Chain A
């Protein structure tokens, strides 16, 4: 992933109105190649509409989007894109291998390549035992697995997954997580819509929060070293001198009883801070960097549920 490379997705002021209802107000985002991008927001925020605009399923009222360097919807570029829709409905009179072959063929895959790819993919999503069933016999989660396989059959460079785990059991969720990571390791970019923050937290490299059709915040989740980190420590016998010495790393150290709070610009310096405290003769019984969980962040950014 180099800076010279064009982003996998770039949206500029995308807007979609349905009659008087504004589904997406002003969507601008840029997703670098090779990242797992999480798109978060409350129900009705405009996540699915945004994905559909990037896929040219829905025509924006205004604004522009480029996907893999071409205008959204470019027919040739679609060969390199996979999509699991939110309401994963496929021709249910097909068996899973037939479904994959159909979608592979539509993507221009050769019969030879499909012959090896289809069984491997069915195996990956755990549908091999059900390969002879019609999709109309499938449960929701099985259907979703078939849909996931469908989105990946042609080894796309960019995959859009609209709530890929909504119907899955815990094993299925873990499977999706592993598949998403494997896709990234392969070099693909993944655009993920989800409500499951804990999952997004462990899978995504970047997240953006959307509310009322507008991105209200975005975060890079990979930077464990950089980014401000708050620390809460339990410390006894902390001399005034040692407290003042913390000024080398922080300007907001505060001691209340034996609870010491401060924040540092980066987690990289934390070992040094701890060594300083211990070296100065303080008894440190706990030392806890406070990473705001995505859920806290979500609630803080998106606000309390005010009803839809």
Chain B
């Protein structure tokens, strides 16, 4: 199958360009740092004989911070590594000898998407799963619904991937990067504004938050992941990325899935229609 060949090529390219190794080093470095921080924290607990309830809450908060960084890192890595995949091949002309092969164009694009998705999911599994394992191992804390959380973060990355691919069929690499990062930055901002609305009780901020979530539902996915995973007390902290003042609904998740599929559809359609 043509798409499977293209998926394999995409992964092989990442391996040849040492992208896989670099990402692995980053992931391991991150986990080591996180583990070290937890280790010292736990030592301090012992020295100060902190009460177990407080210990649990502090480690939980550290875990959520770790997962938040994992989420940001994974999304940025996804955008960064895929921003050139389509536009770069069109600009350099390498796509020409490929696109005349007896493989429909939608398979070329989807194959590349699948190859990138496999790598992104592996990265999320390693960093997200690793963070949770480290927190459990060193601090004895397990989040509420780690699987749901992981799936939502994965969905966020796949969303980033689909949007980057779609924009890549229109724009040059640099423009694509600016556009997609801008979109995700917008969603980030909107998420914070919505959190703030719970604090200031401003209905208009809520509206802004919802509208930005509709424009780009990435941050809503993260906030839903937080809601799924966190312990009750952390959720009560009013003003943090981990606060669950305004919880994105299940409908919002459905919207994000549709958004992903539409972005992928648009990418396929435009890649099919355009001159190469």
Contact = CB atoms under 8 A, between A and B. Distances in A.
Interface in B211-255: none
A55 B276 CA distance: 11
Interface stretch (A77-85, A202-210, A221-229, A297-305): A77-85
B102 A90 contact: no
A108 interface: yes
Q: How large is the interface on A (under 10, 10 to 19, 20 to 34, 35 or more residues)?
A: 20 to 34
B169 to A, nearest CB: 14
Interface stretch (A24-32, A98-106, A111-119, A241-249): A98-106
A57 B5 contact: no
Interface in B83-128: 92-94, 96-104
Contact of B5 (A59, A75, A106, A147): A106
Given A83-B100, A93-B17, A103-B101, A58 B276 contact: yes
A76 interface: yes
B5 A102 contact: yes
A284 interface: no
B178 interface: no
B100 A81 contact: yes
Contacts of A175: none
Nearest to A87: B93
Nearest to B272: A59
B273 interface: yes
A103 B94 CA distance: 12
A52 interface: yes
A194 interface: no
Contacts of B16: 93-94
A102 to B, nearest CB: 7
B27 to A, nearest CB: 23
A85 to B, nearest CB: 4
A91 B102 contact: no
A57 B2 CA distance: 18
Contact of B94 (A58, A81, A90): A90
Interface in B252-276: 273, 275-276
Contacts of B9: 91, 102
Contacts of B100: 55-57, 78, 81, 83
A107 interface: yes
B144 interface: no
Contact of A93 (B5, B13, B275): B13
Nearest to B13: A93
B20 to A, nearest CB: 13
Contacts of B99: 57
Given A57-B276, A58-B276, A106 B94 contact: no
A65 to B, nearest CB: 14
Interface residues of B, number: 21
B103 A106 contact: yes
A150 interface: yes
Nearest to B6: A106
Nearest to A108: B102
A123 B54 CA distance: 73
B9 to A, nearest CB: 7
B119 to A, nearest CB: 16
A75 B96 contact: no
Contact of A78 (B5, B94, B102): B102
Contact of B97 (A56, A93, A105, A150): A150
Interface in B36-52: none
Nearest to A84: B97
Contact of B93 (A56, A77, A85): A85
Contacts of A85: 93, 96-97
Contacts of B94: 89-91
Contact of B102 (A75, A84, A89): A75
Nearest to A98: B12
Given A57-B275, A93-B16, A103 B97 contact: yes
Interface string B1-20: 01001000100010011000
Given A93-B17, A105-B5, A57 B96 contact: yes
Nearest to B94: A89
A228 B56 CA distance: 99
Nearest to A53: B275
B104 A83 contact: no
A108 B1 CA distance: 8
Nearest to B103: A106
A145 to B, nearest CB: 14
A79 B93 contact: no
Nearest to B98: A106
Interface of B: 2, 5, 9, 13, 16-17, 92-94, 96-104, 273, 275-276
Given A83-B100, A90-B97, 20 more contacts: A52-B96, A52-B276, A55-B100, A57-B99, A57-B276, A75-B103, A78-B100, A78-B102, A79-B102, A84-B97, A87-B93, A88-B97, A89-B94, A93-B17, A94-B16, A102-B9, A103-B101, A105-B5, A108-B102, A147-B97
20 contacts: A57-B100, A57-B276, A75-B104, A76-B102, A77-B102, A81-B100, A84-B97, A85-B96, A87-B93, A87-B96, A89-B93, A90-B94, A91-B9, A93-B13, A93-B17, A103-B97, A106-B5, A106-B103, A107-B102, A150-B97
9 nearest A-B residue pairs (beta carbon): A106-B101, A93-B16, A78-B102, A79-B102, A58-B275, A85-B96, A87-B93, A57-B276, A89-B93
